[in-house]
Amino acid sequence: MLQNRATLKQIRFHLLSELRQIYTENESDSIVRLVMEHLGYPLSVSLREPDLVPDPPLTARINAFVADIRSGLPIQYVLGQTHFCDLNIKVDKRVLIPRPETEEMVEHIKARTKEPIQKIIDLGTGSGCIALALKKHFTEADKTIDDNQVHHILEWTKMHTYYTQYFCNLLFQHTETKVSDTSIEEIKNLIFKSNETTYYLFRNLLTGAQWDLLKAIARENEMHKPTSSDIRMKYTLGASSTVSRSLDALLDKEMIYNNITSDHSSYEVYDVFLSRWLQQYNS
């Protein structure tokens, strides 16, 4: 444990010694730099004033950081922030750490935007990094949406980042000033219409039993025990062996996924929009 009255040089050496038990040399160097910069002592200061003795509270913070890092906590959670698209984004255990692929998505959105966008609606995205990054590049516009509509959109898109973002960007494009319930329903129909050809292609690629099971899973939203007699009778799915074969086929084709938690297991349709389309249309 680092003792009080340690110099910057001693602090850096202590951090490197601790981190190299867990990370590679390069990773350790990078993390030490992040930690020291976060505490107000960038590399330039450490090199210029190696014998500087910081105040005792800083030593306690470093010991706490080391304990958290050794417990396996990601450095972004330890520091309470992460770097994203030239922004410092606050993060903690309640949100996912933004990934480099998300930065690429932001750049892709910016590159494809031909006309200036004044405002981005970004919902259900944890740290809000996408909205903050895009907002940096676009000016604000006066468009409103009420809390009930927000709740409905989040429920309908299952709070999935991609589907929520896609829906809200379409909604923004089709809204002058205030979002209406009618406009929300129009966006749903627009999404269904633009993807309907693909959905019918899926139908042609699946057997009748597989398609029936896919519809049943969508209508259950989360299907528990698909081979149970109750489920098979409710949706006329046939014998349990038929359901099992169809289940394996849908998993193999990545049409559905098995959502396993500590207390239950359920099956859901992989594509949220497809799931909503199957719920709405009896095809």
Residue 180 · residue 239 · CB < 8 Å: no
**77/23 Cα distance (integer angstroms):** 17
**Angle made by CA atoms 13, 16, 21, in degrees to the nearest 5:** 135
**Burial (Cβ within 10 Å: 0-12, 13-18, ≥19) of residue 203:** middle
This prediction has a pTM of 0.56
**231/142 Cα distance (integer angstroms):** 48
Q: What is the pLDDT of residue 98?
A: 67
Spatial CA neighbour of 78 closest among 43, 35, 37, 40: 35
pLDDT by position in tens, the chain (length 283): 667 778 888 888 888 888 888 888 888 888 888 888 888 888 888 888 888 888 878 888 888 888 888 888 877 788 777 776 666 677 777 666 666 666 666 666 666 555 555 555 555 556 555 555 544 543 345 567 777 887 788 789 887 767 877 887 888 788 777 788 999 999 999 999 999 999 999 999 999 999 999 999 999 999 999 999 999 999 999 999 999 999 999 999 999 988 876 567 899 999 999 999 999 876 5
> For the residues of 123-164, what is the DSSP string, one character each?
-S-TTTHHHHHHHTTS-----B--HHHHHHHHHHTTT-HHHH
User: For residue 257, what are the β-bridge partners?
Assistant: 268
**226/220 Cα distance (integer angstroms):** 10
**79/92 Cα distance (integer angstroms):** 9
Class of domain 197-280: mainly alpha
Q: What is the pLDDT of residue 175?
A: 75
Residue 153 · residue 108 · CB < 8 Å: no
Q: Which long-range contacts (CB under 8 A, 24 or more apart) does 37-40 make?
A: 38/79, 38/81
Position 122: which residue type?
D
Q: What is the pLDDT of residue 154?
A: 79
Q: Which residue has the tokens 């409710």?
A: 234
Cα Rg, the chain, nearest whole Å: 25
